[in-house]
Amino acid sequence: MSNNKQSDEKESSADKVDEYLQTFGSDDARERRYYSQEQPFSSEEMTRLINEERLNELLAQSDAFLSSLNDEIKDFDEDDL
């Protein structure tokens, strides 16, 4: 009887895997899974979660990088003339 129970459990697991794989290919099911994981954040939560000092540092670094990149592009263009 234990063999029967193990066989039933294996079939159940296989059925679940098969069902998952079938829904995995379904765009609608994939979207439902994706959006069900989203959680809305209030503005207070976002303010609490964001490290404003670090964000400003990153923005300054990206500005500096873009500026230097822009200078390099200008130098490259001038070399062609």
* Residue that is written with structure tokens 């609490």 in the block: 48
Q: Could you give phi then psi for residue 37, rounded to 5 degrees?
A: -85, -15
Q: Give the C-alpha separation, 56 to 64, whole Å.
A: 12
Q: Give the C-alpha separation, 73 to 55, whole Å.
A: 27
**Tell me, what's the pLDDT at 27?**
72
Q: Where are the domains of the chain?
A: 1-38, 50-81
**Tell me, what's the pLDDT at 1?**
46
Mind listing the pLDDT tens digit for each residue in 6-40?
Answer: 554 556 777 777 777 776 666 776 677 666 667 77
Whole-number average pLDDT of the chain: 76
pLDDT above 50 for 48: yes
3-state secondary structure of 51: coil
